[in-house]
Chains A and B, each alone.
Chain A
Amino acid sequence: MNVLIVGGGKVVYFLCRAFISKGYSLTIVNRDSAECAWLARRLKAVIVHGDGTDLQILEECGAERCDAILAVTGHDQDNLAICQQARIRFNVQRTLAMVNDPDNEEVFRKLGVSAAFSTTRIITSLIEQRTGFEDIINLVPLEEGKVNLTEVVLRDISPVAGRALSDIALPENSLIAIVTRNGSPIIPRGGTVLAAGDRLVVITLPENMGRVIKLLTGGR
């Protein structure tokens, strides 16, 4: 797979190291010549010095031959410009961007970028998962936000505590994928009986997520 990466810093370095070990062929665009030299000494990748939002630079990097483009500069506006030019001018199928503003994850998707990730949102979500103060935690959105992966903690008042999965009428397009009890995960079957204190990982479509959460927690 040919991947074009625009950006710099340690993020790009470690991303590239991971991608190279997977056998991807990489081109990196960076506007700082010293950083280009640093990357070139350490990575088996094509390094191009220039502004990745510049059409001509993208063309010189062979944007039209790449399978995916990854825009990870520190500026949301630059990452959007990179993805849009790659998509519209060079017909790149997969455009991925890193964003600072968590709101821009959804905004970028609406504007046609395949996927946008906010490090702020990811870190917030990880902290929530680790500290576990919340009963309902949105984990990662899958399939470009069309599938939700949510963690739900069952309290004593939960209407499903003490009931077997097969007795629970889950709405269509939803699934209880993992039950974690006392720190050990179980992949549940129909006979699995839920208990207060269980942490469930639930897969739903966004439109029925509300109903599923209500069914499991009794509230909200």
Chain B
Amino acid sequence: MAGDKMLFVIVIGCGRLGANLASGMSAAGHSVVAVDSRQSAFDALDSRFSGYKIEGDATEFAVLQQAKTVSADLVVAVTDNDNVNLMAAQIAATVFKVPRVVARIEDPRKEDIYRALGIETICPATLAGRAFMASLESTPPKGAHNA
């Protein structure tokens, strides 16, 4: 993120990851709106969060309008449903022309389609896979100890 500039950020999905992101961004001084379809999800936000909470389904256009998506600098779509993330991210990028949109996806096979639609993705499975591979590659073969 660009230096100390305050951003208007919308976090869609307030689960473990979303709540963490929203709280962290809010603590860093950004203006944050958290969106989740369950009111109880906002319990996961910590005391550092001073933004707005909107209870609503992010696939409902009126909810994205209410969140003022049109003025957002960044939209992060991190619900636990890939297709909800894909839809909210596309609407943010294409209809509301949000300059930066990042979505979390569970299914790595969907990464291509997001890329084709101009949406940045973060896939925990791919990242974890890479980290495991890197860690495995640095493991010395068993025979090395006996050499």
Any B CB within 8 A of the CB of A78 = yes
A-binding segment of B23-31, B80-88, B127-135, B139-147? B80-88
Any A CB within 8 A of the CB of B110 = yes
Q: From residue 81 to 104 of chain B, which have CB atoms closer than 8 A to chain A?
A: 81-84, 86-87, 90-91, 94-95
Q: A77-B81, A89-B112, A111-B95 are in contact. Are A101 and B86 (CB under 8 A)?
A: no
Q: A194–B113 Cα gap in the complex (Å)?
A: 54
- List residues of chain A with CB within 8 A of the CB of B90: 80, 84, 111
- List residues of chain B with CB within 8 A of the CB of A101: 59-62
The reply to whether A56 and B109 form a contact with Cβ atoms under 8 Å apart is: yes
Q: Which residue of A lies closest to B107 (CB)?
A: A54
Q: A101-B61, A107-B95 are in contact. Are A84 and B117 (CB under 8 A)?
A: yes
Q: Which residue of A lies closest to B95 (CB)?
A: A110
- List residues of chain A with CB within 8 A of the CB of B59: 75-77, 101, 104
Q: Which residue of A lies closest to B114 (CB)?
A: A84
Q: How many residues of A contact B (CB 8 A)?
A: 20
- List residues of chain A with CB within 8 A of the CB of B62: 101, 103
What's the minimum C-beta distance from B24 to chain A, rounded to whole angstroms?
A: 26
Instruction: Choose one: A55, A75, A89, A103; the contact of B83 (CB below 8 Å).
Output: A75
- List residues of chain B with CB within 8 A of the CB of A89: 112-113
- List residues of chain A with CB within 8 A of the CB of B61: 101, 103-104, 107
Any B CB within 8 A of the CB of A30 = no
Any B CB within 8 A of the CB of A92 = no
The reply to whether A88 and B117 form a contact with Cβ atoms under 8 Å apart is: yes
What's the minimum C-beta distance from A7 to chain B, rounded to whole angstroms?
A: 14
Q: A85–B90 Cα gap in the complex (Å)?
A: 13
What's the minimum C-beta distance from A34 to chain B, rounded to whole angstroms?
A: 23
Given contacts A80-B83, A81-B83, A85-B113, 9 further A-B contacts (CB under 8 A): A54-B109, A77-B83, A77-B87, A80-B87, A84-B90, A84-B113, A84-B117, A88-B117, A104-B61
Interface residues of A, Cβ cutoff 8 Å to B? 53-56, 75-78, 80-81, 84-85, 88-89, 101, 103-104, 107, 110-111
Supply 5 A–B pairs (Cβ within 8 Å), ascending by A. Answer: A77-B84, A81-B87, A101-B62, A103-B61, A107-B95
